[in-house]
Every structure is written in C-alpha cells, then in structure tokens.
Structure 1
C-alpha cells in the first residue's frame, strides 16, 4: 500500500495533514516534471485552438495518456509543484476576475443550498455504507470527501477519524473513488449543463457545487464559459471553507481519544483562500488596470490547466480494479446525490 502522501493530486489541504519532510529541497528537482506538464498543457492549448474542444478537458485526457510517466521518481517534485503550488497561485489570481458585487449578486440561496448539499451528501455516504455492510465511519469519510473537496477533505477527515477507525486501505479506496469521480464529472458535467440549457450562473453553480476536486471544479466551470468559471470558483471555494466546521463537528461527535491528529483552526484556513479574498477585495475597491487583470487572468487559466494535467498524470486509476465494487458504493452514491441536489438548486437560481 502506498503512503498517504502519494494520494493527494490537485490537493489543497493534503500537505497540512502530513509531517514535514526532512528531505532537502533542490531547486532543480521540479524542472523535469514541470517541463513534462508544461509540454502537455501547451499541446492541450494547441488542440483547443485548432479543434475547439475545452482546453481543461484536453489537458485531462493528455494527462491520463501520460499516466505511465508518474512511475519515474524524477518527475514527482515537478508534478507536485504543478498540482499544488501552481494551483494555489492560480486560485489567488482568479480573484482578479471576481468582485464582492458579483458574489453578492448570487444571492443567499446558493450559499444556503451549499450547506444543504453538504449535509445531504454526507448523509447518503453514511447510509450507503450501512446498506453495503461497511463501517459507518468509512461512509462518513467517503461522504465528507465528496461533499467538500475530494482528496483534500479525505486527508483532513482521515486525520480526525483515525486510522484505527478507518484503515489505510479504506482511505485509499475513498481517494481512488473521488479521483475517478472527479475526472468523469469534468468530462461530462459541462456537456450536461449545455444539454440542459442552463444559464452561465446555473452551470457554474452546478459544476462548482458537485465536482469534488478544486482544480477540476473550477476548470469545468471555465469549460462552459468565462462567467460560469467565475461562478464555479466562488461556489467551489465556498465549499472548501465548509471543511473547517465539518472537521470541528466530526471531532466533537467522535470524541477523539488519542486517535489521529487533533484539528486546529490553523489547519483549516490555508493561505490561498486568504489570498483569493484579498485579491477580490482589491479588485472590488480599486480599478485594476485592464492589462494587469488580463495577464493575471491568463496566468490563472494556464496554472489551472497545469494543475489538472498534473493531477491526471499522477492519478492511480489502475488501483480501482483491485477492490470489490461494494467498496466504491458510498462514493458513487454521494457523487450522484451531489449532482442531483446541485442541479435542483441551480434550477432554482
């Protein structure tokens, strides 16, 4: 079984739950992986310009095609940097596309809807675990990971639940399930939004409220349109912030007794969310030069493309076949519930 640090792909909270490495960082180490991801991303851009397909989707598919390269340890530092650090920087830069006025224009309903969706998805995950004779805490892990932010939430929740309550194998199954579900959602949800003739706001909410992984949720929004991408960004980052009260609630309910790590608020408020809010505030209060805003938006889009491509390269899809189908029922049920509830709220907007 792989160690937990091999499972967070485009992960936002993962490294907060892991012990810092004693390995000395070499500034040259990320170069090979970054060159691979950049080449794949540029290929996706070229194909997108010539054939009209969404660049995020093409990056995902090219990344899956290059999945075999992830076995080379020399590429790992660069892949990690692209799927984590550059993702965070891209999210901060996305603040140049959003203002507080646009957030307020969404209204109260979307944010109340997010809380209801989170509760419903977690409840279905626990119920599905019970119906398939699995541990309820495994269902809580699967439902929580699906409701919030995929692998990131799985790592954070697992550190609270404890390895004695949910085994490392159970954690790995959850990670594999949400990774595949996010990939399938990115490939299908934008097309479904178009088939259902949703508006940009509705499509952005649907994608942002139902796709697990942050990079793929935001990328899926921009695959629909610029406006949908901006809405998906706000909605998805709002979901991410719900991880803080969820971890506190889980720690309270389970009543930790020496298992796993105790949760602190410092774990739950990473710098990229603070940075995103700060840039949105700047964009709302100050007239940012159009050229600067344009360069920032372009950089954000490219960084997100790099993150999605790196996530696909690192994904361990072959592990899905090693486990029985029942182990993936909680994630599958929670994923379908998230889509159905998000679509219901989107239609009400």
Structure 2
C-alpha cells in the first residue's frame, strides 16, 4: 500500500523505493511489448495478439518474485495512460466531417451491439460484466476498449480471465475480418466510401481497420480510419455511462473492497480533456503523432502485463457460450452497419 506523502521531500524520497519495487515488472513488460512489435513489423502478426501470447508464456513472473508488483502496476496504471492519450486523436472536426447520417449509424451500431451483448449474455447464461466487456470491445475499438471497460467494472474472481479472453478473441476476430471483409465489399460491389464505412464501422482494432481499408483503395482507407476514430470517440461516454450505472445499480458488487467507484474515472476525464484541447486546434500535428505513438506503446506494454498475469489454463475455462457470444456480437455489428449503409446512409 502506498505511503501517504506530506511534502515534496517525501515524494522525491519515495521515488527510489517506487522504482525498486515496480521497475523490474515494468521493464519485463516493455521487453515483451518490444518483442511483440518486432514480430508485428517483420512478420505481419498483430502486435496486440503477440504481446498477449508472449505475456501468457511468461506468466510465472507474475506469480512470485521481484516482478510481481511492477506487472500489476503496468497492467492498470500504464493501461489508463494509454487510453487517456487516445483522446489526442479525437476532435469535433472529425464528427462534422462524416455527416449526421453516418455519425448516427456508427453511434447506433455501438449502442445496439452492447445491448445485443446484454441480451445474448442473458440467453447464454453469462453475467452482465462479461456482456459489457465483450459488447464494448466489439462495438468500439477492440482490445483498447476491453481494457478501458475492465478498469471500471467491479472485480470478481473471473475478471482477469474474462479480460484476457476478450482481448484474445477480438484480436483474432479483427485479424480474420481484415482479410475477409474487403472480399465482402468487393462481392457486394460497394463503392470506396461505402466500403470504408463498412470496414471502419465493423472491424474491432484500429490497426486492422487501416490494413483492410488501404488494401481496397486510398479513399477507402481514409474513410475507414475516420469512421473508426468516430467509434473510438464513443469510448469515453460509454465507459462513463458504465461507471455511473455501476455506481447506481451495482453498489454491493462495486463496494466489496470498501471503496465506492469514482463518479468519473480519471483516465476518462483526461481522454475528454485531450479531445477538447485537440478540437480547439491546440495540439499540433507532430504532438498528435507523438501522443498516438505513446498511447500505442502504453497499451501494448499494458497488454503484455495483463498476459503475464493470466494463466493459459484459465482462458479455456471461459466456456463455449463465451465464444458464441463474442462471435455473435461481431456478426451483429457487421450486419447492422451493412444494412445501414445500403438503406439509410447511401
């Protein structure tokens, strides 16, 4: 537990102890993330997936030894930093650029996918935590959304297992979609704009959206990236809504550790602050690029730490219903966006 600090000298005096306690775990998470990025750059494998799998292989480091506290810190605090910095890529101009019909379609897709997940979870006998986790990950931005949502959900004995399953599943499904969805757009003879809206509105992770979009055409790639960023914009309001609902209706679960959940998580506040600053044009392009890189690495390092905290055996305990649910959510959002493109946003 952290020692209360009463003066600047206390703060600076604690830094060596803090680094000694958490440095080894953070360092090994960075090494795993760097290895994952190397594999991604040289062999085309999704970096998030590689970080997750490599992290799982080093699970023993999170069980005992000097790395345990640093891995725990990295899986939580570094994650929140990465999510908060995503706000620097968001602006009101992005929203205006798409137009009201497409914005409405994307927002409706996010909301309905989450509601579909809640309904599906009830039918399959899964809990509401799992439904919000998988539904938000599929609806918004894959692994990043899963980790952000997990940060505000009340914890139980299955929390880490469900998070690692969700990150693994959405990353695999996103990679499959990156290959399959451009084929679908060609078969349906969608034009470049419509194809971009479909790819950006349905594929889970940003990197796979970019890969799929630019494999069709430059215009499709640019449109897909823009639409995807609109979905990322939904991350803050969705996480905030979840936090408020949990605070209001899941009081017993949320207060098992004796603490009341925060009205608005700090990383969500920072996401919104950065988005507001960027909307006024106060973040120059080079700074946006730098913050995007920091965010990407923070998320990659944190998912490596999450992987290290999870035993491979526990993933297989999730059950077939969980796989059915997350695949069904993926199919639902793809079908909804495709229907919307052809009937309302054309």
State the TM-score, normalized to the length of structure 2: 0.70
Rounded to whole Å, the distance in 1 between the matches of 2:300 and 2:151 is 23
Deviations 1:237-288 (A, max 9, x none): 625633554566678778x7x67639x9963521222212221222221253
CA distance in 2, matches of 1:52, 1:175: 27
Alignment partner, residue 273 of structure 1: 268
Whether 1:190 aligns to 2:190 is: no
2:58 equivalent in structure 1: 66
CA shift, 1:31, in A, is: 0.3
Structure 1 residues 223, 50: closer, same or farther in 2, change over 3 A?
A: same
Is residue 344 from structure 1 mapped to residue 335 from structure 2 by the alignment?
yes
Partner residue of 1:107 out of 99, 103, 107: 103
Q: Partner residue of 1:291?
A: 286
Distance 1:48 1:144, change over 3 A: closer
CA contact (8 A) 1:145 1:152 kept: no
Does structure 2 retain, via aligned residues, the 8 Å contact 1:48–1:54?
A: yes
- Mapping of 1:258-269 within 5 angstroms? 261=255, 267-269=262-264
Which portions of structure 1, spanning 4 or more consecutive aligned residues, are displaced by more than 6 angstroms?
A: 22-25, 250-254
Q: Secondary structure at the match of 1:125?
A: helix
Structure 2 CA distance for partners of 1:114 and 1:186, relative to 1, 3 Å: same
Q: Say yes or no: does 1:147 pair with 2:143.
A: no
Q: Secondary structure at the match of 2:45?
A: coil
Cα 1:46–1:142 shift into 2, 3 Å: closer
Distance 1:260 1:297 in 2: 32
| Cα pair 1:219 1:305 within 8 Å, conserved | no
Superposed, which structure 2 residues align to 1:7-18 within 5 Å?
none
SS in 2 for 1:242: helix
Q: Distance in 1 between matches of 2:303 and 2:151?
A: 19
Instruction: Please give the alpha-carbon distance, in whole angstroms, between the structure 1 residues aligned to 2:40 and 2:320.
Output: 35
The counterpart of 1:202, out of the listed 198, 205, 212, is 198
Structure 1: gaps of 5 or more residues: 1-20, 130-137, 160-170, 209-216
**Structure 2 unaligned regions, length at least 5:** 5-13, 137-144, 186-194, 214-220, 342-346
Q: Which residue of 1 aligns with 2:36?
A: 44
| Residue in 2 that maps onto 1:318 | 313
Question: Retained in 2: the 8 A contact 1:118–1:147?
Answer: yes
Change in 2 beyond 3 A, CA 1:110/1:265:
farther
Q: 2:78 is matched with which residue?
A: 86
SS in 2 for 1:267: coil
Q: 1:222 to 1:73 in 2, by over 3 A?
A: farther
**CA-to-aligned-CA distance 1:306-344 (integer Å, 9 cap, x gap):** 1222222222331245x5xxx735433331221112212
Q: In the aligned structure 2, how far is the partner of 1:50 from the partner of 1:68?
A: 27
Counterparts of 1:107 and 1:188, CA distance in 2: 24
Instruction: Using structure 1 for the length normalisation, give the TM-score.
Output: 0.69
Hey, what's the Cα distance between the residues in 2 that align with 1:269 and 1:298?
Answer: 25
Name the counterpart of 2:27: 35
